């Protein structure tokens, strides 16, 4: 979620017709600009590509801003595509998607009042002693507000944008059609699996009853772990489009960067261990690595966990496949690593021996980190740069272009997000010891 000081008011288009009209107006505007630019280029004797005509700086700004204003599936799909295939996308498309990750709008007061009335009825004010109309944060599906109950308890209330849930499928179809029309999506990458994954994830995240159940499950799973705080679900004020929970005082997780090295290291170690427990013990993972979903309590040293809308069940076969891969990598078993990667779906069938070795070399970079010896310095290490450089080299070999099964994408996203957080905080963690305790 985007924090409150970065938010701008703009009404959310509600209803399928209004949202389709918004997308239609965008497509018409882009098409008009393409026609004009194309005609001008032809008069100059040029024969430009469609992608060059679509992705002018003005169109990039127009497209990103419109998707951000719509929120919902349109904005979420852009974020997912950027995270899952960003290294393989042309810079013009990545420019749009990166803007979607960085910006957000909020509902103006009048629309907020209508959402509260729809969720709680005309007497919604009786449920709260006070309700702060300025949101604490906003994301693609909803925004979060601070409120106080008549009994004096402080709550965080997540309100869903109007019409977003009902328009998920049509939004996705419209955005996918626009992406295909632009000609920017690489033909070598199959968009359908990502679309299917986005569809499932969005319907799940828009189901606040499901999120409330996940919140309660994580609260129970971590009840005995004093390192973490999970908000308590308020059933009496939770509705299909409103999720109420206890407000947990805390600071942004990034403030940990100013704490002592020992405190930083313990916190990051706890988060990495939690990820491993989610995969191998809980078989239940909060998959959104947004930094805003982690908060810090300096007075107690606890980490507050937020936003369980993207919680996913992990099947036993998937968990065991990762354990097999982990063991093979730790044991320097290269044939075992290749077999595990193929079994999970990370390697495209029919690759040449040369390309299989390329994949193996890249995976070896990761396993070197996991083998140790000793603590890993996230800030003082060039591992991420070397991995990114190798990934870009692989990106130049189109035979290797391949998206893994959608059910594995969320795990890769979570791991990558935690690595970035550990680097941002400058932590040093004995990753090898942590991993071996679960292998």
* DSSP one-letter code for 11: P
Whether 93 contacts 82, CB under 8 Å: no
| Separation CA 64–CA 66 (nearest Å) | 6
| Separation CA 353–CA 362 (nearest Å) | 14
- Active site residues per annotation: 288
Question: Comparing C-alpha atoms, which of 241, 275, 221, 306 is closest to residue 431?
Answer: 275
Q: Which two tokens stand for residue 376?
A: 């890993």
Whether 161 contacts 114, CB under 8 Å: no
323-341 burial by CB neighbour count: b if 16+ within 10 A, else e? Answer: ebbbebbbeeebeebbebb
Whether 12 contacts 68, CB under 8 Å: no
Q: Which two tokens stand for residue 179?
A: 């992406």
Give the count of alpha carbons within 13 A of 76, CB side only: 32
| Separation CA 124–CA 157 (nearest Å) | 13
Question: Comparing C-alpha atoms, which of 203, 260, 200, 235 is closest to residue 407?
Answer: 200
Question: Comparing C-alpha atoms, which of 16, 155, 110, 130 is closest to residue 118?
Answer: 110
Which helix (H) or strand (E) segment holds residue 60: the answer is: helix 57-70
What does 389-429 look like in DSSP terms, one character per residue?
HHHHHHHT-GGG--PPPHHHHHHHHHHHHHHHHHHHHT-EE
State the distance between the two ends of the chain, measured CA to CA, in whole angstroms.
Answer: 33
Whether 133 contacts 109, CB under 8 Å: yes
């Amino acid at each position: 979620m985007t924090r409150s000081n970065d938010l701008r008011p703009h009404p959310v288009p509600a209803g399928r017709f209004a949202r389709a009209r918004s997308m239609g107006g965008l497509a018409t505007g882009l098409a008009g600009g393409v026609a004009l630019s194309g005609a001008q280029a032809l008069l100059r004797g040029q024969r430009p590509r469609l992608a060059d005509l679509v992705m002018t700086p003005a169109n990039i700004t127009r497209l990103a801003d419109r998707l951000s204003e719509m929120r919902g599936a349109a904005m979420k799909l852009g974020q997912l595509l950027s995270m899952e295939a960003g290294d393989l996308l042309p810079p013009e498309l990545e420019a749009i998607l990166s803007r979607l990750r960085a910006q957000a709008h909020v509902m103006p007061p009048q629309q907020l009042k209508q959402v509260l009335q729809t969720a709680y009825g005309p007497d919604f004010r009786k449920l709260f002693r006070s309700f702060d109309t300025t949101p604490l944060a906003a994301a693609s599906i909803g925004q979060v507000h601070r409120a106080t109950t008549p009994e004096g308890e402080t709550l965080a209330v997540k309100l869903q944008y109007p019409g977003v849930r009902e328009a998920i499928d049509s939004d996705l179809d419209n955005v996918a059609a626009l992406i295909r029309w632009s000609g920017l999506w690489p033909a070598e990458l199959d968009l359908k699996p990502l679309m299917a994954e986005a569809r499932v994830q969005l319907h799940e995240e828009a189901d606040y009853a499901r999120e409330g159940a996940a919140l309660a499950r994580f609260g129970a799973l971590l009840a005995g772990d004093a390192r973490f705080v999970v908000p308590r679900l308020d059933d009496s004020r939770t509705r299909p489009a409103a999720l109420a929970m206890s407000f947990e005082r805390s600071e942004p997780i990034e403030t940990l960067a100013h704490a002592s090295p020992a405190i930083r290291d313990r916190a990051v170690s706890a988060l990495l261990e939690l990820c491993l427990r989610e995969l191998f013990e809980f078989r239940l993972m909060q998959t959104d690595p947004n930094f805003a979903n982690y908060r810090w309590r300096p007075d107690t040293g606890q980490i507050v966990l937020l936003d369980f809308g993207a919680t996913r069940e992990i099947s036993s076969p998937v968990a065991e496949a990762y354990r097999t891969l982990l063991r093979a990598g730790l044991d320097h078993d290269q044939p075992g690593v290749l077999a595990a990667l193929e079994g999970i779906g990370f390697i495209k069938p029919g690759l040449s021996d040369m390309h299989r070795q390329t994949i193996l070399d890249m995976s070896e970079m990761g396993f070197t980190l996991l083998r140790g010896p000793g603590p890993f310095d996230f800030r003082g290490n060039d591992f991420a740069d070397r991995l990114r450089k190798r990934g870009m080299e692989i990106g130049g070999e189109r035979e290797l272009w391949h998206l893994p099964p959608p059910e594995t994408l969320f795990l890769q996203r979570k791991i990558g997000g935690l690595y970035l957080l550990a680097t941002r905080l400058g932590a040093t963690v004995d990753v090898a010891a942590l991993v071996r305790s679960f292998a």
